[in-house]
């Protein structure tokens, strides 16, 4: 197939071909933490595994500005390109990359200062705090590159170079896996080795796209003298606020999960949750990758006032989401014994806790794709308010209610049911917002 462009009419084949690099890119990026978890759990121990899982939500928070400005900025740049203002698009792109790097540095410094306080607040004991501090501070040292990588994942799609983003992610992912084997398995560096392996991979993910855009290239975007446009910056923040809100609120909720699990099942609960989250990272990466790839299509066609194509992409996306959601739920249930064995097969009690938890949690995969796409769809339309509302309800408000209430009724099973409840309730709101706004955007 010839190269698919934003201006094309999208059949199922073209739509899947366009978003596939984004999906694979998100999968490869998710593998960073999945591989870390495998090596830490099997070759360092379940306490170290629990410690790294307690730190990850905090790390996701400090990486989220790149996702906000990357996603929101890409939607804005796609809109500008749809209007034919190519030079202005490059100026805004250059400005946003500089801002992303600067914010990444600032939040890294803040992370160093408050990491120990966060772990203490979550109820971690001395052993968990020690391992968590080692893992977290090494990761924070590479946070600028992590933030840049999050931004570039969206910018490369808008630049009509999703395949380049995929290649960068594959290089970084392979480096992470090889270094995990070297540092953790062979050198016995423990959690420090796992964190160092991921830090190196993040360096590749942030630097390689920077080098590409710094020279003349065949894409729609490159670095030129930036235009310091406060209005465009604010619009990018608004457009991408839902994605940042989703990351931050999801991470805060993750910390609450860990707190509840420590109370209900001690370190075993946190370790089981970690294994389930690695599966969730991989499965939801498919939905997030699709949403990331399709946001630019929505933004471009909305900017070009091509409403027929807007309707076409929306209809096909909902059908694709339905099929993928069913497949994922079935896979998660069917593979739950194998997944539990891979991560915690050395402990029978922990194995059974993980297997049962994943079977319950898997019903969320049937629902979450609609909510993730719905939020991204409104981001593409430039409606950051609705997009942020959906993300905030899905990842924060409804989950907090469920995490606090359901364990009282169902015990530890209530923890795994919490995400199913929040996705189901958000789905009703997502479809309501689509119906309410259909005349406004003529989709």
pLDDT at 30: 80
- Tell me if 5 is assigned to some domain: no
Q: Is 401 exposed, middle or buried (0-12, 13-18, 19+ CB in 10 A)?
A: middle
159: Cβ contacts below 8 Å, ≥ 6 apart: 213, 219, 220, 221
Q: How many helices (H) and strands (E) does the chain have?
A: 16, 0
Query: Tokens representing 143?
Result: 């946070």
pLDDT of 222 strictly over 70: yes
User: How far from chain centre, in Å, is Cα 256?
Assistant: 19
pLDDT of 1 strictly over 60: no
DSSP class of residue 362 equals G
Which has the closest alpha carbon to 63: 254, 206, 200?
A: 206
**Mean pLDDT across the stretch 313-334?**
96
Tokens 């609450």 appear where? 256
Task: Report d(CA 274, CA 358) in Å as an integer.
Answer: 11
Reduced to 3 states (helix: H, G, I; strand: E, B; else coil), residue 5 is coil
Q: Are 395 and 245 in contact (CB under 8 A)?
A: yes
Q: Are 268 and 46 in contact (CB under 8 A)?
A: yes
Residue bearing the bigger pLDDT, 327 or 252:
327
Average pLDDT of every residue of the chain: 91
315: Cβ contacts below 8 Å, ≥ 6 apart: none
Q: Are 370 and 430 in contact (CB under 8 A)?
A: yes
pLDDT of 32 strictly over 70: no
Range of the domain at 194: 12-441
- Tell me if 152 is assigned to some domain: yes
pLDDT of 432 strictly over 90: yes
What are the pLDDT digits (tens) for 190-203?
A: 999 999 999 999 99
Q: Are 115 and 140 in contact (CB under 8 A)?
A: yes
Task: Report d(CA 299, CA 360) in Å as an integer.
Answer: 36
Task: Report d(CA 266, CA 278) in Å as an integer.
Answer: 19
Task: Report d(CA 7, CA 14) in Å as an integer.
Answer: 12
Query: Tokens representing 326?
Result: 């069913």
- Tell me if 240 is assigned to some domain: yes
- Tell me if 103 is assigned to some domain: yes
pLDDT at 132: 94
256: Cβ contacts below 8 Å, ≥ 6 apart: 400, 403
* Candidate from 18-22, 106-110, 415-419 with smallest mean pLDDT: 18-22
What are the pLDDT digits (tens) for 165-214?
A: 888 988 888 899 899 999 999 999 999 999 999 999 999 999 999 999 99
- Tell me if 4 is assigned to some domain: no
What are the pLDDT digits (tens) for 240-264?
A: 876 787 778 778 888 899 889 888 8
User: How far from chain centre, in Å, is Cα 99?
Assistant: 20
What is the full DSSP assignment across 342-355? Answer: HHHTT-HHHHHHHH
- Tell me if 1 is assigned to some domain: no
pLDDT of 357 strictly over 60: yes
pLDDT at 2: 53
**pLDDT interval class at 37 (50, 70, 90):** confident
State the Rg of the chain over Cα: 21
What are the pLDDT digits (tens) for 86-119?
A: 999 999 999 999 999 999 999 999 999 999 999 9
> 182-205 b/e with 16+ CB inside 10 Å = b?
ebbeeeebbbbbbbbbbbbbbbbb
DSSP class of residue 3 equals P
Task: Report d(CA 422, CA 240) in Å as an integer.
Answer: 22
Residue bearing the bigger pLDDT, 382 or 318:
318
pLDDT of 144 strictly over 50: yes
- Tell me if 2 is assigned to some domain: no
Q: Is 116 exposed, middle or buried (0-12, 13-18, 19+ CB in 10 A)?
A: middle
* Candidate from 50-54, 97-101, 319-323 with smallest mean pLDDT: 50-54
**pLDDT interval class at 127 (50, 70, 90):** confident
Domain count, the chain: 1
- Tell me if 3 is assigned to some domain: no
User: How far from chain centre, in Å, is Cα 225?
Assistant: 30
pLDDT of 3 strictly over 80: no
**pLDDT interval class at 293 (50, 70, 90):** confident
User: How far from chain centre, in Å, is Cα 194?
Assistant: 20
What is the full DSSP assignment across 117-180? Answer: HHHHHTT--HHHHHHHHHHHHHHHHTHHHHHHHHHHHHHHHHTT-HHHHHHHHHHHHHHHHHHH
Query: Tokens representing 374?
Result: 């719905």
Task: Report d(CA 307, CA 105) in Å as an integer.
Answer: 41
Tokens 């995400």 appear where? 419
């Amino acid at each position: 197939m010839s190269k698919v462009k934003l201006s094309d009419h999208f059949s199922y084949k073209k739509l899947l071909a366009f978003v596939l690099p984004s999906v694979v890119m998100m999968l490869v990026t998710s593998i960073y933490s999945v591989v870390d978890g495998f090596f830490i759990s099997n070759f360092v121990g379940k306490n170290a595994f629990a410690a790294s899982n307690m730190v990850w939500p905090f790390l996701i928070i400090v990486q989220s500005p790149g996702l906000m400005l990357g996603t929101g900025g890409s939607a804005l740049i796609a809109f500008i390109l749809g209007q034919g203002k190519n030079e202005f698009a490059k100026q805004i792109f250059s400005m946003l990359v500089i801002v992303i790097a600067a914010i990444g540095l600032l939040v890294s410094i803040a992370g160093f200062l408050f990491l120990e306080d966060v772990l203490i607040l979550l109820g971690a004991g001395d052993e968990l705090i020690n391992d968590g501090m080692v893992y977290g501070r090494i990761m924070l040292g590479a946070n600028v590159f992590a933030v840049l990588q999050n931004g570039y994942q969206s910018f490369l799609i808008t630049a009509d170079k999703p395949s380049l983003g995929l290649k960068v992610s594959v290089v970084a992912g392979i480096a992470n896996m090889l270094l995990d084997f070297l540092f953790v398995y062979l050198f016995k560096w423990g959690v420090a080795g796992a964190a160092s392996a991921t830090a190196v991979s993040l360096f590749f993910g942030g630097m390689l796209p920077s080098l590409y855009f710094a020279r003349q290239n065949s894409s729609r975007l490159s670095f030129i003298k930036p235009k310091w446009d406060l209005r465009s910056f604010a619009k990018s923040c608004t457009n991408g606020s839902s994605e940042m809100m989703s990351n931050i609120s999801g991470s805060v909720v993750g910390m609450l999960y860990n707190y509840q699990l420590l109370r209900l099942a001690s370190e075993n609960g946190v370790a089981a949750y970690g294994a389930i989250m690695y599966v969730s990272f991989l499965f939801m990466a498919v939905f997030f990758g699709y949403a990331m790839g399709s946001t630019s299509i929505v933004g471009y066609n909305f900017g070009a006032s091509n409403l027929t194509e807007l309707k076409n992409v929306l209809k096909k996306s909902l059908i694709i989401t339905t099929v993928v959601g069913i497949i994922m739920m079935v896979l998660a249930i069917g593979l739950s014994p194998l997944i539990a064995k891979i991560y915690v097969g050395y402990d029978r009690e922990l194995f059974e806790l993980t297997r049962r938890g994943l079977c319950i949690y898997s019903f969320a995969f049937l629902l979450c794709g609609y909510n993730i796409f719905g939020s991204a769809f409104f981001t593409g339309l430039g409606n950051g308010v609705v997009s942020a509302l959906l993300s905030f309800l899905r990842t924060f408000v409804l989950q907090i209610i469920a995490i606090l209430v359901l364990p009282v009724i169902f015990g530890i099973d209530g923890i795994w049911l919490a995400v199913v409840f929040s996705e189901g309730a958000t789905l009703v709101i997502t479809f309501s917002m689509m119906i309410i706004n259909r005349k406004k955007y003529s989709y």
